[in-house]
Chain A
Amino acid sequence: MITALEALLRCLAVLVVFLTFPLVIGQTEHKVMAHMQGRLGPMYAGGFHGWAQLVADGVKFAQKEDIVPAGADRRVFQLAPAVALLPYLLVLIAIPVGPGGFVGQALDAGLFFVLAVMGVGVLGSLMAGWASANKFSLLGGIRSAAQLLAYELPMLLAAASVAMAAGSVSLTGILGAFHWWWVPWQIVGGFVFFTAGLAELQRPPFDMPVADSEIIFGAYTEYTGLRFALFLLSEYAGILVLCALTAVLFLGGWHGPLSADLGWLWTLLKTFALAFVVIWLRVTYPRLREDQLMRFAWIVLIPLALAQLALTGIVKVVIS
């Protein structure tokens, strides 16, 4: 009884985090992007510096008509936003926040689970692109697929390097084995993982699947109202998950001064610092071309990830 209640509470906490943190990141993006461009960003909604802008956006989206195009594959079209969004909720359950069981649900094969489920999220935009019966949506969906294929590999290799270093595929196990010198040791892997994750989330500068100047809004072109908002939310939930994962795998998660009491704060700090970097990159860099994207994945990231894997193996053999 007690365990069931506890599990329920944990799930509820994860749900609350899932519903609020992406909005915090979205609002941060509004303001940071504005100031990086010499603007102020939203100033009115909610009174103080437009803090409620995303709430207002949500209300607006909820009021809009939910249109399904006549030629669309109705069921798949309507299901796609959920497929895009829910995997990130599931991933969030498995991410450890602090030491001593401060995690939604610790899994033995946490790393496998997290990476496998994150890959499902991209299926949402594939489904949306295919079901919309729109050539721009289809192009966007196919670009998403190509991007997923190209970037899943370096991401997995980089994650495998950490798992190899820790000798564990459990996220809590990896954090348990963490030492500070892992950060310089795994830095290349961290770069590859973070970059590949950005590409999987279709964040600028890797946002060709939604390149608005080329293919309108890619797979999401035909979406309106709440379903469109869910796709947008999934992007920010994806940022949260990617940043939390990078923090856990490569930056030591809860490790830091006073980690016994303030471990969760360290995880949050690292996550939000990385989220800031995600926004920063979006503001700074223009979109890559499709061929540049593929080149970058296959001739830069994958060799780097393999080199990191080799380095990890060598160091592991030397120190054991």
Chain B
Amino acid sequence: MPPLPSGSADHSGRADHTHQHGGSAGSGSSGGFPGRGLAKGLAVTLRTMTRRSVTHQYPDAQPELPPRSRGVIALLEENCTVCMLCARECPDWCIYIDSHKETLPAVDPNARARTRNVLDRFAIDFSLCMYCGICIEVCPFDALFWSPEFEYAETDIHELTHEREKLREWMWTVPPPPALDPSAEEPKEIAAARKAADKLAAAEAAAAAMPPGEEPTL
């Protein structure tokens, strides 16, 4: 069958494209018997049929999300100091924070009483949020985290404003941070703790090595 001009050109082009991926037999697109491009097209669809389909059956099977998925923002409110940085940096002003100050009685009669911020309300309106993650980046106290949780659709837009209880619950879905690179520097906390422990061990070893009854020379 003589190939129709445009149709066959389209097909040899497509078949070539898959050639790079699928490794189909044959070389080049021009030449060969007439209708070669048409046959190649048929081969492509037939080969696709024998392969596993790429469909994810989502409601039946949960998707495997990468650990850094931006699903929802979770709040670890124990860490929050109501510094308001997140609310101020938020480009679409979707974070609502209310707080008050509490006065702590002075521990020492000579000292003055200290004040401390207490969080009353922390809410994020996910109908406004654009998932930029600036609030998480900017939080100096590690109170905000990305969670891969994404199934929080509502039927009313007002219900997308989630309060602190809900944000705290999402904390449980936050995956642990990725492990450090094998030759990476130790995290600061661990380095400090190790230094203190080493010092203590050295002092104990020195005390044990000293003969009993002898005063340690200081």
Contact = CB atoms under 8 A, between A and B. Distances in A.
Interface string A276-320: 000011011110110010011000100000000000000000000
B49 A36 contact: yes
B208 to A, nearest CB: 71
A34 B7 contact: no
B51 A43 contact: no
B45 interface: yes
A8 interface: no
A285 B3 CA distance: 12
Contacts of B155: none
Contacts of B179: none
B53 A35 contact: yes
A38 B4 contact: no
Interface string A34-52: 1111111001000000000
A265 to B, nearest CB: 24
B57 interface: yes
Given A286-B10, A288-B4, A288-B7, A39 B55 contact: yes
B97 interface: no
B46 A40 contact: no
B57 A40 contact: yes
A143 to B, nearest CB: 18
A54 interface: no
A285 B38 contact: yes
The range of chain B's interface size is: 20 to 34
Nearest to B43: A284
Contacts of A283: 45
Contact of B46 (A36, A205, A292): A36
A35 B10 CA distance: 22
B192 interface: no
A244 B45 CA distance: 24
A106 interface: no
B contact face: mostly helix, strand, loop, or mixed: helix
Contacts of B45: 36, 280, 283-284
B170 to A, nearest CB: 30
B143 interface: no
Contact of A37 (B4, B38, B48, B57): B48
Contact of B6 (A36, A281, A292): A292
B4 A292 contact: yes
A39 B45 CA distance: 12
Given A35-B49, A292-B6, A300-B2, A284 B44 contact: yes
Interface in B1-53: 1-2, 4, 6-7, 10-11, 38, 41-42, 44-46, 48-49, 51, 53
B210 interface: no
B111 to A, nearest CB: 69
B46 A280 contact: yes
Contact of B51 (A38, A40, A281, A284): A38
A34 B53 contact: yes
A contact face: mostly helix, strand, loop, or mixed: helix
A32 interface: yes
A38 B7 contact: no
A111 B10 CA distance: 38
Interface in A34-88: 34-40, 43
A300 B2 CA distance: 8
Given A280-B46, A300-B1, A286 B7 contact: yes
B209 interface: no
B180 interface: no
Nearest to A287: B7
A293 B168 CA distance: 65
A90 to B, nearest CB: 32
A103 B41 CA distance: 38
A68 B15 CA distance: 45
A313 B42 CA distance: 33
A280 B42 CA distance: 7
A285 B7 contact: yes
B159 to A, nearest CB: 28
Contacts of A285: 7, 11, 38, 41
9 contacts: A35-B49, A36-B46, A39-B53, A40-B55, A43-B57, A285-B11, A285-B41, A286-B10, A296-B4
The 9 closest A-B pairs by CB, nearest first: A36-B45, A40-B55, A35-B49, A36-B49, A284-B45, A284-B41, A38-B54, A283-B45, A38-B53
Given A284-B44, A292-B4, 18 more contacts: A34-B53, A36-B46, A36-B49, A37-B48, A38-B51, A38-B55, A39-B54, A40-B55, A43-B57, A191-B1, A280-B42, A280-B46, A281-B42, A285-B38, A286-B7, A288-B4, A288-B7, A292-B6
